[in-house]
Chain A
Amino acid sequence: MMRPYRWLFPVWLLLAACSDAQHEQSQPDDVAGSGMLGALSGEAEAEGYARVTGPRDFDFPDDHGPHPDYRHEWWYVTGNLAADDGRRFGYQITFFRFNVSPDMGQRASPLAGNQVWMAHLALTDVDRERFLHEERLSRGSGLAGAAVEPFRVWLDDWRLSGGEGADPFPLRIQASADDFALDLELEARKPLVLQGDAGYSRKGDAPGNASFYYSWTRLAAAGELMLDGEEIAVSGTSWMDREWGTSTLSENQRGWDWFSIQLDDGRDIMFYHLRLDDGGIEPRSKGLLVDADGDSRLLSLDDVELESRRYWESPAGDARYPVAWRMILPGEGLELELEAQVDDQELRNGFRYWEGTIRVRGEGADGPVRGYGYAELTGYTTSD
């Protein structure tokens, strides 16, 4: 059971992406109840979609491909990289898939479809304190999509392309934005871990309010960055999540603080706080710890103490994000200090959120530990 409320994250992103364009350019009629929000939220609106109602037997590599009958799905890759000269970088590439109309009938046109894709590409240049990012949207219909044998996910010319086997590795990332480009190859250092109950990740008490979810928590990455017209050889570690389902929106949540951490002793940690409107933390907030050998165990809310230590104001206004934390896992004997490598890693598209590289320092049972990770912070903009 991980990152449960990130479910709606892409929906908000998509909504925001579209409504932002609307705001700037024209004002189409707001038809009550039939807008994107109406179409993608609410239990009644989940009708027509496939639902996640219990564990399934994953079938790889097919399940690495798309599940178009479910409302949303993503391929989410983040990572920390270093150049030969020690320059450090963080990157994110995410492909989101949505089914925007489950009941669409048979159509004659090859361009007809109910699948909308969105991709986010971001690069953090730690030494120069720069954060670059770009968003793309497209219909499916060949312009964007995912497939297996060989594995590939693409939106226009941004793509993940992998092997023929049960695993997508080696996985190549190729994506270029206006002012930077990534060309990386990823290899798995640990096997895939199924989240929740063997990959069945419940989000709430209502049946169907769940997702299928698995991750690769440690991938070796190597390749090139193009930045400022310069080709930079880089290597480092990455993390990839796969998730799909048809979950619905919960009313009382404000946002989440989500962390993925890769320590130099070989352990990986995922943990999140789901923040409620009343200032509390949702008791379902959870995490997962993966040992160096790939064994994993769930972390409940009580297993982890998480405290914000420093805040940063967005230059765009209306938002104040935590950018440094103390995380203590008494059961694991870990006391960690987390801090953003660059404060401003806010993606200022239609939907504003913070997703960026963090540096980790602390003490373990056997001495000091260090590492890098990624944090995702949503629900901090006051105008939301």
Chain B
Amino acid sequence: MSRLLQRAGWRYFRARPWQLGLSLLGVALGVAVVVAVDLANQSAGRAFALSSEALTGETTHQVLAGPSGLPADWYVALRRDHGFRQSAPVVEGTLESTLEPGRSLRVVGIDPLAEAGVRPIFGGLATGGGLGEFMADPDAVWMLAEDLARLGLAVEDPLPVTVQGAERELRVAGALRPESAMDVEGLRDVLIMDVAAAQELFERGDRLDRVDLILRDAAERDAVEALLPGDAQLLPSDQRRDTLADMTRAFRLNLTAFSLLALLVGAFLIYNTMTFSVVQRRPLIGQWRAIGVGRHQIMRLILGEAALIGLAGTIVGVLLGIGLAHLMLDLVSRTINDLYFVLSVRSVNLSPVSLILALLLGPVVSVLAAAVPALEATRIPPRAVLSDSHAEGAARRGMPRLLITGLVLLAGSGGLLLLPLGGLLPAFAALFLLILGAALLVPALLSWMMRPAGWLCGRLFGLPGRMAARGVRIGLSRTGIAAAALMVAVSAIIGVGSMVDSFRVTFADWLDVTLQSDLYVSVPGDSHLHPELVRDLRVLTGVAGSSTAFQTRASDGEQRHRLRVFELDATPDRAFSLLQGDAETVRTRFADDGLLITEPFANRQDLQPGDSIALRTPAGVRELDVLGVVQDYGSSEGAVIMARGLYSRYWDDERIGSVGLRRADGVSAEALEQAVRETVGDRQAVRLQSSEAVRELSLQVFDRTFTITHVLRLLATLVAVVGILSALTALGLERAREHAVLRAIGLTPAQLWRLVTLQNGLIGLAAGLLAVPLGIAMSAILTQVINQRSFGWSLSLQVSPALLLEAVLLALLAGLLAGLYPAWRASRQSPAMALREENG
């Protein structure tokens, strides 16, 4: 008996290849996105772990420099006078090779003779290429044999690079061939050079970035702690690694959630397909029941079909996902590089666990999606000779129940957001509840919408118009599902699109507030302007005002915070957009008695005006008041902002990263730039940028950083279009018999064609319109809750009318497009044939 059922199921779907194919495609795309994002995330995580492992080696602790840096003398004394031999100095920086523009290479400056017990992979570096070369040639670098091969370089070849904006030529002195494959992964895109050469390359003077240590016990740790320069910090190595990994966690979780959104749309397609299959097979299922097929068997059949479609779609999806992962990986690592730290990920790591999970995910989601239609199928009474109208009656009677369930889900979503839970999971749960709840409301809303639509269409298109609208209402059990699937897909487009827009607009507005100077002079990379040059530039005639900026890191004893030091041209309350705090207090105290913190920092550290932050300074720990919280999109990690005057009181540090110059009245931009160029001469390789150029560049970086979001939006659109096509094609084909009847009673092919097209257009339009509030609600959750909780940024919600219009038009267009084939088929087929076919 069950074989018979299976055969019947197979024949049903074989007769509807379009419907089946589109469902498969929907699942495949959904799974592909999940797999791609997961693989990319995993690979990025693995690359990060391997690279920190390779570069951490046996290190147990790290001494990290404060703003004053770690003088090389301190390190020398640590070994010579205090006997800490298992210590290795490190100077790090990044540069780009002109052979591979746009890709950062990480420079790690080490002392090979200090590495022996500390980082095994560098223990042998002093040989082969030669210790003399390593130590004495400031241009000599070592890199992975694999990387050399990729760049088409051989040992002894020059390696042209751009460092701090200047062109330099380094020299490949040797290839690294670590024995372990893990170390190979960990050393990708890393240039190893002598610590002194790295100091010179990045113009660090006598400063080190950190000293890596192996400390055996608490006594040793305390001894080093006691020796630390005032603003440096001793941290366990794994803590630093965890901190770095933590920074990207929210980002990666977001990606996963977005990928699940794609799968959710895919699940709607399965739900759609299976519901149609049940509705269409009512008589058949009724007959089966009459000849003794049990409810469980029916249930099993429907779920089995869903699982099979899910599995087939999943297999295709996994393969597709692996291909897509390469693109994703590039985007993920690009975002991590822009937002967090330099990370090189070149290969997709096909984790078996991820793949197996994905293979399970597809069928499971499909079965879940088919649960409702399967349940419905078991309720079909034996020998159901129910007419469609009967079924529709049942569907309409069930509508209040759906409506209530939907409203409950929506209320649950709202409740989740209102509860003081925090965290990303409740936020994402609320998002998914919102989508499901909205989908359940669709049949009722669609039905209501069709009343005025029928009147309007009647006025515009006459009888076919009225018929079309009424047809939608009458076939609600099917049209409702199609419209819901369509709405979810379109709302995803609106939600994600609005989020990106909101982000970009907020960011651009913030740039406008921040960029108050006309011309910015800076040194590319992490280097600094010569202090005399800064002094000369600031007193140039034609300069009405100037500001300076400098970024470093300062420790509070446990964490190292980004510290931005500004000498402002305007008052601090005008230079920053104050979100919290009293403007008057900020104005009077910022110069020498307090700090500002950025919004992400305030969120991460749970700080507000009135709190204080302890910072390690060379003179000891200083408690500084938080005066205000300011808007900032420069770093998701957040930063502490300090006035130059205050900074100079604690740190003997003249470094300045950039200078902003404001033109005096009557001085042209060209004249100012000319004067600056003349003053700079060849004293230092600097970068001159107008505020427009900085704005432009920042937005470019922004767009690059969020390319992945665009790609996700594109993928959501793709799944949505497939969903729309699938839903409406199914609907159209399902109505073949009805169309045949209409033809039989005298509708011309053209009239029928118009009717079907109109009906699909109505469904598309209705779904598009319904998607608008849902999409806006989604983007509100995304921008106001999820982004805030992930990155600490508050964004002003931007819903562009153009985007809404685009989405509604897309829905309408997709509706019309999806109606083409069924309409064409219906108008071509002889009514008699169609009627016979449906009965057979």
User: Would you call A28 an interface residue if the criterion is a C-beta within 8 Å of the partner chain's C-beta atoms?
Assistant: yes
Q: Which of B76, B124, B195 contacts A25 (CB 8 A)?
A: B124
Q: Is the CB of B79 within 8 A of A156?
A: yes
Q: Is the CB of B72 within 8 A of A139?
A: no
Q: Is the CB of A19 within 8 A of B80?
A: no
* Nearest chain B residue, comparing its CB with the CB of A139: B113
B194 contact set on A, CB distance < 8 A: 112
User: Would you call A104 an interface residue if the criterion is a C-beta within 8 Å of the partner chain's C-beta atoms?
Assistant: yes
Q: Least Cβ distance of A38 to chain B in Å?
A: 8
Known pairs A26-B121, A28-B175; A142 contacts B196 (CB<8 A) = no
Q: Is the CB of A34 within 8 A of B130?
A: yes
Interface residues of A in 209-267 (CB under 8 A from B): none
Q: Least Cβ distance of B655 to chain A in Å?
A: 16
Q: Is the CB of B196 within 8 A of A19?
A: no
Q: Is the CB of A109 within 8 A of B197?
A: yes
Q: Least Cβ distance of A362 to chain B in Å?
A: 43
Q: Is the CB of A26 within 8 A of B179?
A: yes
Q: Is the CB of A142 within 8 A of B129?
A: no
User: Would you call B123 an interface residue if the criterion is a C-beta within 8 Å of the partner chain's C-beta atoms?
Assistant: yes
Known pairs A34-B133, A138-B114; A27 contacts B197 (CB<8 A) = no
Interface residues of A in 318-341 (CB under 8 A from B): none
A104 contact set on B, CB distance < 8 A: 135-137
User: Would you call A24 an interface residue if the criterion is a C-beta within 8 Å of the partner chain's C-beta atoms?
Assistant: yes
Known pairs A28-B175, A154-B80, A157-B80; A139 contacts B126 (CB<8 A) = no
User: Would you call B351 an interface residue if the criterion is a C-beta within 8 Å of the partner chain's C-beta atoms?
Assistant: no
Stretch of B81-89, B425-433, B555-563, B749-757 with 4 or more beta carbons under 8 angstroms from chain A: B81-89
Q: Is the CB of A113 within 8 A of B130?
A: no
User: Would you call A23 an interface residue if the criterion is a C-beta within 8 Å of the partner chain's C-beta atoms?
Assistant: yes
B114 contact set on A, CB distance < 8 A: 138-139
Q: Is the CB of A21 within 8 A of B123?
A: yes
Q: Is the CB of B177 within 8 A of A101?
A: no
**Which has the most chain A C-beta neighbours within 10 Å: B131, B155, B178?**
B131
B142 contact set on A, CB distance < 8 A: 28
Q: Is the CB of B131 within 8 A of A116?
A: yes
Q: Is the CB of B196 within 8 A of A157?
A: no
User: Would you call A315 an interface residue if the criterion is a C-beta within 8 Å of the partner chain's C-beta atoms?
Assistant: no
User: Would you call A100 an interface residue if the criterion is a C-beta within 8 Å of the partner chain's C-beta atoms?
Assistant: yes
**Which has the most chain B C-beta neighbours within 10 Å: A109, A114, A139?**
A109
Q: Which of A18, A25, A27, A101 contacts B133 (CB 8 A)?
A: A101
Question: Size range of the interface on A?
Answer: 35 or more
CB-CB contacts of A28-65 with B at 8 A, as 1s and 0s?
11110011101100000000000000000000000000
Q: Is the CB of A101 within 8 A of B145?
A: no
Q: Is the CB of B126 within 8 A of A27?
A: no
User: Would you call A309 an interface residue if the criterion is a C-beta within 8 Å of the partner chain's C-beta atoms?
Assistant: no
Complex CA gap A27/B128 in Å reads 8
Interface residues of B in 53-77 (CB under 8 A from A): 72-73, 76
Complex CA gap A28/B145 in Å reads 9
A25 contact set on B, CB distance < 8 A: 120-121, 123-124, 178-179
Q: Is the CB of A28 within 8 A of B73?
A: no
User: Would you call A206 an interface residue if the criterion is a C-beta within 8 Å of the partner chain's C-beta atoms?
Assistant: no
Q: Which of A21, A36, A103, A108 contacts B130 (CB 8 A)?
A: A36
User: Would you call B436 an interface residue if the criterion is a C-beta within 8 Å of the partner chain's C-beta atoms?
Assistant: no
Question: Size range of the interface on B?
Answer: 35 or more
* Nearest chain B residue, comparing its CB with the CB of A21: B123
* Nearest chain A residue, comparing its CB with the CB of B77: A142
Q: Is the CB of A112 within 8 A of B127?
A: no
Complex CA gap A34/B83 in Å reads 34
Q: Is the CB of A116 within 8 A of B197?
A: no
CB-CB contacts of B120-154 with A at 8 A, as 1s and 0s?
11011111111111011110001001000000000
Complex CA gap A148/B437 in Å reads 85
Complex CA gap A107/B76 in Å reads 18
Complex CA gap A176/B84 in Å reads 12
* Nearest chain A residue, comparing its CB with the CB of B129: A31
User: Would you call B391 an interface residue if the criterion is a C-beta within 8 Å of the partner chain's C-beta atoms?
Assistant: no
Complex CA gap A134/B251 in Å reads 49
Q: Which of B80, B124, B173, B195 contacts A18 (CB 8 A)?
A: B124
User: Would you call B623 an interface residue if the criterion is a C-beta within 8 Å of the partner chain's C-beta atoms?
Assistant: no
A108 contact set on B, CB distance < 8 A: 199-200, 205
B81 contact set on A, CB distance < 8 A: 157
B82 contact set on A, CB distance < 8 A: 157
* Nearest chain B residue, comparing its CB with the CB of A30: B128
B454 contact set on A, CB distance < 8 A: none
CB-CB contacts of A274-300 with B at 8 A, as 1s and 0s?
000000000000000000000000000
B175 contact set on A, CB distance < 8 A: 28-29
Q: Is the CB of B178 within 8 A of A112?
A: no
Q: Which of B127, B132, B197, B199 contacts A28 (CB 8 A)?
A: B127
User: Would you call B174 an interface residue if the criterion is a C-beta within 8 Å of the partner chain's C-beta atoms?
Assistant: yes
Q: Is the CB of B174 within 8 A of A101?
A: no
User: Would you call B206 an interface residue if the criterion is a C-beta within 8 Å of the partner chain's C-beta atoms?
Assistant: yes
Interface residues of B in 189-222 (CB under 8 A from A): 194-197, 199-200, 204-206
Q: Which of B130, B176, B197 contacts A39 (CB 8 A)?
A: B130
Known pairs A109-B199, A143-B80, A157-B83; A23 contacts B133 (CB<8 A) = no
Complex CA gap A176/B83 in Å reads 9
Q: Which of B80, B125, B126, B196 contacts A109 (CB 8 A)?
A: B196
Q: Least Cβ distance of B88 to chain A in Å?
A: 11
Q: Is the CB of B127 within 8 A of A110?
A: no
Q: Is the CB of B206 within 8 A of A26?
A: no
User: Would you call A308 an interface residue if the criterion is a C-beta within 8 Å of the partner chain's C-beta atoms?
Assistant: no
Q: Is the CB of B135 within 8 A of A100?
A: yes
Q: Is the CB of B116 within 8 A of A137?
A: yes
Q: Least Cβ distance of A334 to chain B in Å?
A: 44
Known pairs A18-B127, A107-B196, A111-B195; A29 contacts B155 (CB<8 A) = yes
A154 contact set on B, CB distance < 8 A: 80
* Nearest chain B residue, comparing its CB with the CB of A22: B124
Q: Which of A15, A114, A137, A157 contacts B136 (CB 8 A)?
A: A114
Complex CA gap A143/B133 in Å reads 19
Complex CA gap A201/B322 in Å reads 72
User: Would you call B185 an interface residue if the criterion is a C-beta within 8 Å of the partner chain's C-beta atoms?
Assistant: no
**Which has the most chain A C-beta neighbours within 10 Å: B83, B121, B136, B197?**
B136
Q: Least Cβ distance of B652 to chain A in Å?
A: 18
Q: Is the CB of A142 within 8 A of B80?
A: yes
Q: Least Cβ distance of B530 to chain A in Å?
A: 14
* Nearest chain B residue, comparing its CB with the CB of A104: B136
User: Would you call B632 an interface residue if the criterion is a C-beta within 8 Å of the partner chain's C-beta atoms?
Assistant: no
* Nearest chain B residue, comparing its CB with the CB of A116: B131
**Which has the most chain B C-beta neighbours within 10 Å: A24, A139, A154?**
A139
Q: Which of A22, A103, A111, A176 contacts B127 (CB 8 A)?
A: A22
Q: Least Cβ distance of B204 to chain A in Å?
A: 8
A110 contact set on B, CB distance < 8 A: 72-73, 196, 206
Q: Is the CB of A100 within 8 A of B132?
A: yes
B196 contact set on A, CB distance < 8 A: 107, 109-113, 141
Complex CA gap A109/B120 in Å reads 25
User: Would you call A310 an interface residue if the criterion is a C-beta within 8 Å of the partner chain's C-beta atoms?
Assistant: no
Q: Least Cβ distance of A172 to chain B in Å?
A: 16
Complex CA gap A21/B122 in Å reads 9
User: Would you call B231 an interface residue if the criterion is a C-beta within 8 Å of the partner chain's C-beta atoms?
Assistant: no
Complex CA gap A111/B121 in Å reads 22
Complex CA gap A162/B124 in Å reads 35
Complex CA gap A154/B85 in Å reads 13
Query: Could you list 20 A-B pairs, sorted by A, with CB under 8 Å?
Result: A22-B124, A25-B123, A28-B124, A28-B129, A29-B128, A29-B145, A29-B176, A29-B177, A101-B137, A103-B136, A110-B73, A111-B89, A112-B200, A113-B135, A113-B136, A114-B132, A141-B76, A154-B80, A156-B85, A157-B79
Contacts A21-B116, A22-B126, A29-B175 known; 15 new A-B pairs at CB < 8 A: A18-B126, A24-B124, A25-B124, A26-B125, A26-B177, A26-B183, A28-B177, A29-B155, A34-B130, A38-B130, A39-B133, A107-B138, A109-B195, A139-B135, A143-B76
Which residues of A are interface residues toward B (Cβ below 8 A)? 14-15, 18-19, 21-31, 34-36, 38-39, 100-101, 103-104, 107-114, 116, 136-139, 141-143, 154, 156-157, 176
Please list the 3 inter-chain residue pairs (A to B) with the smallest Cβ-Cβ separation, ordered nearest first: A22-B124, A101-B136, A100-B132
